[in-house]
Chains A and B, each alone.
Chain A
Amino acid sequence: MSARFVAPVVMGLLMLGLWEGIVRIAEVPPYVLPGPIVVAETLVSDWGTLAPSLWITLEITLEALAAAVVVGVLLAVLFSLSRWIELSLFPYAIILQVTPIVAIAPLIIAWANDVELSLLICAWLVAFFPILSNTVLGLRSVDHNLLALFELYGAGRWKTLIHLRLPAALPYFLGGLRISGGLALIGAVVAEFVAGTGGSASGLAWRILEAGYQLRIPRMFAALVLISAAGIAIYLALSLLSYLLLWRWHESAISPEG
């Protein structure tokens, strides 16, 4: 625990120190590369502009993630219940996944006719596939002897789903969820870049674009820091959720002794 915490913190501080040192010694102007102290100062001084943008980006990310969970799990369950549905739909889910979001974002933005809705759709598109494919894998990775046991006791599809397939799929789903949390954020940011519209509701990506136009490089870095921090926070929150749901029984959540 302590080494796991101390080692990356020490490493991070060293890198930040090195960065600050290089910037100072080489006298790099802040509009080329601001040092970490300047970035931190900007983060504080520009908080009034950056905070609302952070909330907007987070809101889109979380909404997209929620939609990805609902659609991904529902589709996965449908797939597990009907081989035909899976055969007919799964290839299209893959097509959606492999098509770069940057390429379809302009289309979605043009069709949705509403910036926030189109951002939501883009983030959702990127986020839902890991949940779908992991949950499908989990629903299928059921001990076949347990399936036989359920059959022996006359459990139908529904009871087998509730009492056997869904619990067995939970660790896989949570693994997918952790990937999707980061992807939803990436999807939201990428879509914002493509949309590129400033206005009353503008997220962090727009702040980065705007700061770039205005050559306010420290603010650009500050917005970048916030995006990273948001991604880390989402990952940690989902890891905690995963641990809370699995720590009693799943191998992945059991810490090695000693």
Chain B
Amino acid sequence: MRLVAARGVSKVFANGVRALDGASLDVGQGEFLSVLGPSGCGKSTLLRIVAGLTPPSAGAIEWPAGKTDLGFVFQEPTLMPWATALGNVALPLRLGGVARGEREARAADALGHVGLAGFEHTWPRELSGGMKMRVSIARALVTAPRLLLMDEPFAALDEITRHRLNADLLALWERTGFTVVFVTHSVFESVFLSQRIAVMAARPGRVLSEIAVDAPYPRTAAFRTSADYAARCRLASAQLAEAMAA
């Protein structure tokens, strides 16, 4: 069942740059979908259009079963420095008018899910880059949205932290069953995480091809070093190279 679909979405910015030209994408209910493309291919713009943060110049976003709640994770942790981890995670609930006691309980719960139990009263400046990103993910998940949009969330992290967050994100996804649209420019990350990869081409941005990654879950560190993973990465790299040549 489809959760959301982009239909021929185009975006021309005020400065005349054509970021997207007829991009189409189907996102299935409960799916983990990666959007893979070179920088400047408009993948972040597509994500913002799906989120409703940017209006498309042409085309439409369809929600077959009605628009759902969604969570958004930016490339930067985007935390409020004047609020504790708990305050940051509770923000969506606060803006939604949830009473203090309930929102703090739910925010503490969400922090626990991303492995930050005990860090409720820590200030963002006291957290490492990886921990800040965990807070950001907890904030996106605190409203229990059906769709999680992630815009290159781990691109600025070191490799060790990135691998750990990949594994933890997958575990959360398997346990909770939300839908993920994960924008990345890393072939390795997209193959490791997703069930399906949409490959985008740049100038103008459009979805050129799709790759199914039917390796079973749970995917562990062993999958990352398997021949199967290497073969899939090779295939995805070839598709990306084709997209960049197109």
Binding site for B on A (CB under 8 A): 143, 145-146, 148-155, 159, 163-164, 167-168, 170, 248-251, 254
Let me know if B76 and A145 touch, CB within 8 A. yes
A-B CB pair tally, cutoff 8 Å: 50
| Nearest CB of B to A142, in Å | 10
- Whether A254 and B125, one on each chain, are in contact in the complex, defined by CB atoms closer than 8 angstroms, is yes
B95 touches which of A143, A150, A168, A251 (Cβ 8 Å): A150
Binds A, one of B77-85, B166-174, B229-237: B77-85
CB distance from A156 to the nearest CB of B (A): 9
Q: Is the CB of B94 within 8 A of A163?
A: yes
Among residues of A, the one whose C-beta sits closest to the C-beta of B143 is A153
Question: Knowing A148-B53, A149-B72, A163-B91 touch, does A249 contact B78 (C-beta < 8 A)?
Answer: no
A170 closest partner in B (C-beta): B82
Give every chain B residue within 8 A of A154 (Cβ-Cβ).
Answer: 95-96
Total interface residues in chain B, CB < 8 Å:
21
10 more CB-based (< 8 A) A-B contacts, given A148-B48, A152-B72, A250-B82: A145-B76, A148-B74, A149-B91, A152-B51, A152-B53, A153-B96, A154-B96, A163-B94, A167-B83, A251-B125
Q: Are A151 and B53 in contact (CB under 8 A)?
A: yes
Query: Does B123 interact with chain A (Cβ within 8 Å)?
Result: yes
What residues of chain B lie closer than 8 Å to A164, measured between beta carbons? 80
User: CB-nearest residue of chain B relative to A245?
Assistant: B82
How distant is A56 from chain B, measured CB to nearest CB, in Å?
38
Taken together as a complex, chains A and B put the C-alpha atoms of A170 and B83 apart, in Å, by 13
Q: Considering the chains assembled together, what is the distance between the CA atoms of A143 and B78 in angstroms? A: 8
Pick the contact of B80 from A167, A248, A254 — CB < 8 Å? A167
Q: Closest chain B residue to A246 by CB distance?
A: B82
Most buried by B among A146, A149, A164: A149
